[in-house]
Structure 1
Amino acid sequence: MMSEQKQMEFTTADAVVKELVRAGVEIAFGIVSIHNMPIYDAILREGSIHLVCSRGESGAANMGDGYARATGKLGVVITSTGTGAGNAAGSLIEAWAAGVPVLHLTGEVASPYLGTGRGYIHECKDQLSIMEGASKKAIRLRRPEQAAAVVRQAIQEAFAYPSGPVTLEIPIDFQSAIIPNHSIEEIKTIASVNQTIPSVPEEVVLKIKNASRPVIWAGGGVITSRASKELQKLAETIGAAVVTSQSGKGSIPEDHPQCIGHFAANELTKILIKNADLLISVGVRFRGNETSNWKVTVPEEHISIDADWLAVNRNYEATNSLVGDAKQILQAINHGVSKLSIIPNPAYLDEVQSVREELRAQLRATLGPYEQILDGMRKVLPRNTILVRDVTVQANVWGSRLFEIYEPRTSIHASGGGIGQGLPTAIGAQMADKNRPVVLMAGDGGFMVNVGEMATAAQEKLPMIIVLFDDAGYGVLRNIQSAAYGRQVAVDLLSPDFVLLAQSMGFDASRIGSPAEFVTELEKAVTTKNPTMIVVDMEAVGPMAKPFGGPPGAAEAFKPKKL
């Protein structure tokens, strides 16, 4: 009788789970602990959320990140206190850098011991500050009765522009506290029909009409706001070249003749942008490594579209800043230009096509035998394949530029530049849809950082394909060190037999030494839909025609010099 009564009692943990379900959460990633066990038990009793048991908190956060990027939904991560929360911090920084909506639920020591330093198990000196530094925002639940409201606030904050990870700390004694099961209703003002499509200043529309050499720079905000169709329509209407950031890949199909793609820092693209008479930037951050540390020269006329007020004039000054949802603003612009007679400049379109082709030809000339691997991947893999890229030479050189992306949310990369996050991120993306191919490009050095998450992929029976480029070390750092110092240090690594390791986890696995072998194994993996690892023996395949030395100027930056 007592156990039945306890089951009917509503606790803070139940309130948390109720809000997750209300938000449409279907999957959560994490590790169970004595400081989150009430939440796990509440998820079990509620029954609708699938729990993915990661092998580390860092991997769990990456999984939530990958799931959110692949779906546009909330990624949910559950960790323990102190060390557990700290383990997740690096991966939360990646989600912050990429602007991904993630809710990180972590425990805390019992409320009477917060900040006392008395040595309560899992105690951290100032966990909230650590999480504040790693997340968009960190919140501590102060009263158990406020759990539902605080969870709802945290979820809204994760999605609010600029979106990002939000950490919510819940002291362990609060999690089991019995609280009222009450209803919360948010009352929103319904906009009138006339306000559905906002208006934009006539000045903006006329600037767009009068431009003969327009460039659109599309960032991740296009994908976040689901504005890809509107972006493509505008580009085609005005005859604009479309440059994309790394995060903006897929905002326009990369086989479109007006798509320059992720080549902003290339000299040919710099010239094209410098000679443009109008730049329209949409949801783009203008990151340092994508602009040669802001050495790309943009035209005087610059229309900036961004949902973040703090993006206004942050990296490049704009003549017109339009702050709001990119989809709605682009709809308004398209509505405005549709009333005007605009004929794209045919000579300029030819120039854009020429630049597009030359950029790709120049980069292809550096690949050597890896050009055949690139072409084999694009030929074999379906158009809707999600390509996840860890930080590795092949991903940086051609995986992020020459492997064409055709749809939003099918390109996932490490925005913050940290190695080793590719595997768990790919697991999260595959959990979003087990019927869609997910391919991970990784290097042997980075892969070992989270190699234990292969067990998570095996446990979840995920049909993911891992393409592991094995050069027995940190390849890009070797090249940078050689160019900067003429010597190398701490870049050679001893790795396991990756084929045996993968097979021990239930993966199909093979080691290939030629592009032809690679294509055969990839075709087999796509057909069987079994979890697969293809290890590319880079010594056997051979070197690239031109070694990759990192971002432009990387080697020069590390040479001794006077400040």
Structure 2
Amino acid sequence: LVHFRRSWGLQSAVARLCATGRAARKRIHHTLADGDYRHFATMASHVTKAQTNLMDPIRVPEQIDWALEQAVIHSQPVYIELPEDMVDAAVLASRLSTPILIPDGSPSPHEPLREVLERIYDARQPLILVDGECRPLRILDEVDALVKITGWPTWTTLFGKGLINEEPPNVYGHYNGSWGSQEWQAYFELADLIIALGPHYTDTNSYDFTTIPREEASISLSKSTV
């Protein structure tokens, strides 16, 4: 049984797997009937940032704190596996009086920021491309402000459609690459700076990869990189 709960604005997964007969590899219901109880944990490892299996009562508090710490740091799901025979296990409560310590998110070196600002100030034919990952990044207000303040020509991708206010005169709608306006395509090809926000470059979203900005002209802002 897998429960999902909201925690710090993200999804945390807590799994409760039947442990009866684990050592004997019995074919318990809600498994794949092959005696291997690791299938679900293995599947979760592909879609969660961290995983832990609560097998030792002495280590349980530390394991849970570590998993929650990873969830907060990365704002991504974690997977905590709780075997049935561990539900009633007694654990030390001493860690409850100590807050989970999250590493200080110290500002990154200023050099990348200076480079970004230089490219912005030097741009002669810039544009902004708003993509669908802006919503999970929770930067829609900032994106709207950037579009308004710069007045730069702005387009959205297919997945970015509807994420920003499209009433300003510098917002032209969603860009569809070689499948759409040749005038727009020419502007993209000649742009010396493309601010790509929340890029999601799949085939369907990029009109068969024809809307992906030229790398040498782009500054892309994604979840963990610029």
Q: TM-score, normalised by structure 1?
A: 0.33
Higher strand share: 2
How far apart, in 2, do the equivalents of 1:160 and 1:251 lie? 26
SS in 1 for 2:200: coil
CA contact (8 A) 2:176 2:210 kept: no
How far apart, in 1, do the equivalents of 2:26 and 2:69 lie? 35
1:305 is the counterpart of 2:217: no
Counterparts in 2 of 1:256-275, with a 5 A limit? 256-265=168-177, 266-268=179-181, 269-275=184-190
Of 274, 280, 290, which residue of structure 1 is paired with 2:195? 280
Change (3 A) 1:137 1:113: same
Q: Which residue identity is paired with 2:115? A: E
Counterparts in 2 of 1:131-530, with a 5 A limit? 131-161=44-74, 163-182=75-94, 183=96, 184-187=98-101, 195=107, 200-245=112-157, 248=160, 251-265=163-177, 266-268=179-181, 269-296=184-211, 298-299=213-214, 300-308=216-224, 322=226
Q: TM-score, normalised by structure 2?
A: 0.72
Q: Where in structure 1 are there 5+ consecutive unaligned residues?
A: 1-35, 37-56, 75-100, 310-321, 323-563
Q: Which residue identity is paired with 1:301? A: A
SS in 2 for 1:202: helix
Q: Where in structure 2 are there 5+ consecutive unaligned residues?
A: none
Aligned length: 215
How far apart, in 2, do the equivalents of 1:131 and 1:286 lie? 24
Considering only aligned residues, what root-mean-square deviation do their CA atoms show, in Å? Answer: 3.6
SS in 2 for 1:255: coil
SS in 2 for 1:167: strand
CA contact (8 A) 2:130 2:160 kept: yes
Shift of 1:296: 2.5
Of structures 1 and 2, the one with the larger relative CO (CA 8 A, separation 6+) is: 2
CA contact (8 A) 1:209 1:238 kept: no
Q: Which residue identity is paired with 1:102? A: Q
Shift of 1:172: 0.7
Partner of 2:18: 109
How far apart, in 2, do the equivalents of 1:191 and 1:308 lie? 13
SS in 1 for 2:115: helix
CA contact (8 A) 2:199 2:222 kept: yes
Q: Which residue identity is paired with 1:128? A: A
Shift of 1:279: 0.9
SS in 2 for 1:289: coil
SS in 2 for 1:131: helix
